[in-house]
């Protein structure tokens, strides 16, 4: 009995330790020469405990290479190079975009200084303030510089754990453009602003800009501090306004209230989402067939009743297994030819985890149609599926013999035929009498 409980406990501990990403466990860390690994030991050791293999490299080093024959060698890349202006040839804005298109996840830290990463941020719909303008806030009262700010963590964000304490932040904010692929994670406090001075000398300019609604205003909770980006390739990139957010100093630093800061848990959650441990979905399989059948048809007929089924799973980082998932309540299916002719809900099937199914009638229009699933929600992996099927009109022998809607035409045709026959019979019989009567007159 004791050995059985010991085995279950060992399996549970092993599953916790071996929690990994759904896309791989190799991580390349580009660390600025001015930064020490020991200053981020809590964050890096947390990744190692999950089972990640970390490889460190300076920005100017060429070994180990990021790609091999244009294929990524690492599943994830961390760029803690907020002040580096020179990189090796294989680290350029274009190469980072290429990595993202190949499915590599990126975690990028910025700073108030102008670097190549600053120009890259604009490609992800992030607008940074002028160089040398960090985020500043004088509230609440504290014994830290105005550039070291406690920021409250939003509640209800599926990326973050619940009840995380405020986190310390020091760095640069950025404005978020109107891009549906952006995923806000942490915004600036409402009383904060970006300025090139830590005093209130520029307060009048901020007030004037606020009154005019000018473009020069960099203040308020609309500014982002940590923002994710869900690429169409499925990869994820997270932009952080300051690398100190992941530091041991901020993780151990007490808040003005005396409580422990939430930087450690916040960094874990951000890393887990970036590396696709959490909120990772996939479509395992799809199927379609007519009602009362089990096999898919090569072609469907107009007005057929079609059953469409999709099996969806969610990644469990504790067991490193894709598990059936029935928690999507707003999934939709489109039956489209250029434009959707039918858009209907695709609900989960009760009692069958991970299975979503719907029955619908095909439109009365022939052509080449597609079953389309296009599920995009902020923070979650995008689900996309398209299956092409032809929709043809019925064959000549597939139409019903009689149509109930056509009975008026049937009656009209039959009555016309009967009337014609009666008229013809009467007319023909009348002509015979006339001819006989004429013959008898001549005989007399």
Residue-wise pLDDT tens digits, 1-29: 434 444 444 444 444 445 578 999 999 99
pLDDT in tens, 221-278: 999 999 999 999 999 999 999 999 999 999 999 999 999 999 999 999 999 999 999 9
**Beta strand 135-136 with 355-361: parallel, antiparallel or unpaired?**
unpaired
Indicate the pTM of the whole model. 0.85
Nearest to 370 by CA among 383, 359, 386: 386
Q: Which fold has domain 281-392?
A: Immunoglobulin-like (2.60.40)
As a whole number of Å, the end-to-end CA separation of the chain is 133
Q: Vertex 254, ends 251 and 257: CA angle to 5°?
A: 140
What are the backbone dihedrals phi and psi of residue 170, each rounded to the nearest 5 degrees, phi first? -150, 120
pLDDT at 418 over 80: yes
Predicted confidence band of residue 439 (pLDDT cuts 50, 70, 90): low
Per the prediction, the chain carries an average pLDDT of 89
Residue 218: which of 188, 263, 248, 184 has the closest Cα? 188
| Residue 419: exposure state from Cβ atoms within 10 A (0-12, 13-18, ≥19) | exposed
User: Could you give the CA distance from residue 73 to residue 89 in angstroms, rounded to a whole number?
Assistant: 16
Residue 140 main-chain phi, psi, to 5 deg: -75, 175
Q: Report the share of the chain in percent with pLDDT over 70.
A: 88
Could you tell me the residue ranges of all domains in the chain? 2-274, 281-392
- Strand-pairing partners, residue 283, are 312
Residue 176, C-beta contacts closer than 8 angstroms, at least 6 positions apart: 125, 126, 127, 182, 184, 222, 224, 227
Model pLDDT for residues 332-391, shown as the tens digit of each residue? 999 999 999 999 999 999 999 999 999 999 999 999 999 999 999 999 999 999 999 999
Confidence label for 218 from pLDDT (cuts 50, 70 and 90): confident
Q: What was the pLDDT predicted at 206?
A: 59
Q: Is 339 helix (H, G, I), strand (E, B) or coil?
A: strand
Does residue 401 or residue 284 have the better pLDDT? 284
Question: Where residue 443 falls among pLDDT bands split at 50, 70, 90?
Answer: low
Residues in the chain: 444
Q: What is the CATH number of domain 2-274?
A: 3.40.50
């Amino acid at each position: 009995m004791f050995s059985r409980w010991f085995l279950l406990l060992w399996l549970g501990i092993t599953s916790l330790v071996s929690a990994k990403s759904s896309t791989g466990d190799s991580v390349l860390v580009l660390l600025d020469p001015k930064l020490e690994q020991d200053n981020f030991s809590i964050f890096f050791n947390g990744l190692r405990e999950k089972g990640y293999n970390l490889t460190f490299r300076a920005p100017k080093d060429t070994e180990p290479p990021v790609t091999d024959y244009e294929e990524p060698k690492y599943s994830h890349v961390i760029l803690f190079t907020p002040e580096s202006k020179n990189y090796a040839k294989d680290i350029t804005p274009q190469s980072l975009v290429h990595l993202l298109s190949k499915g590599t996840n990126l975690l990028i830290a910025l700073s108030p200084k102008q670097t190549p990463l600053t120009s890259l941020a604009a490609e992800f719909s992030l607008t940074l303030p002028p160089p040398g303008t960090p985020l500043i806030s004088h509230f609440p009262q504290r014994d830290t510089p105005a550039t070291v700010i406690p920021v409250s963590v939003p509640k209800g964000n599926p990326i973050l754990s619940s009840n995380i304490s405020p986190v310390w932040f020091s760095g640069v904010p950025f404005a978020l453009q109107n891009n549906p692929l952006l995923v806000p994670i942490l915004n600036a406090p409402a009383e904060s602003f970006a300025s090139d001075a830590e005093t209130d000398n520029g307060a009048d300019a901020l007030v004037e800009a606020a009154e005019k609604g000018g473009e020069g205003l960099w203040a308020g909770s609309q500014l982002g501090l940590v923002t994710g980006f869900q690429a169409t390739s499925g990869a994820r990139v997270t932009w952080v306004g300051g690398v100190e957010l992941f530091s041991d100093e901020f993780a151990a630093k007490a808040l003005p209230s005396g409580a422990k800061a939430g930087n450690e848990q916040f960094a874990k959650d951000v890393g887990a989402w970036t590396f696709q441990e959490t909120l990772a979905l996939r479509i395992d399989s799809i199927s379609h067939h007519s009602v009362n059948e089990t096999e898919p048809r090569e072609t469907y007929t107009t007005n057929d009743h079609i059953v469409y089924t999709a099996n969806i799973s969610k990644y469990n980082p504790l067991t490193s297994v894709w598990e059936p998932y029935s928690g999507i309540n707003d999934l939709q299916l489109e039956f489209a030819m250029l434009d959707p002719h039918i858009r209907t809900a695709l609900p989960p099937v009760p009692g069958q985890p991970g299975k979503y199914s719907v029955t619908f009638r095909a439109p009365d229009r022939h052509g080449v149609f597609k079953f389309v699933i296009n599920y995009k929600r902020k923070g979650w992996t995008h689900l996309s599926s398209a299956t092409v099927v032809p929709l043809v009109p019925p064959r000549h022998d597939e139409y019903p013999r009689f149509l109930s809607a056509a009975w008026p035409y049937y009656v009209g045709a039959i009555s016309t035929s009967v009337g014609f026959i009666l008229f013809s019979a009467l007319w023909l019989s009348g002509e015979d009498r006339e001819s006989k009567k004429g013959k008898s007159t001549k005989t007399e």
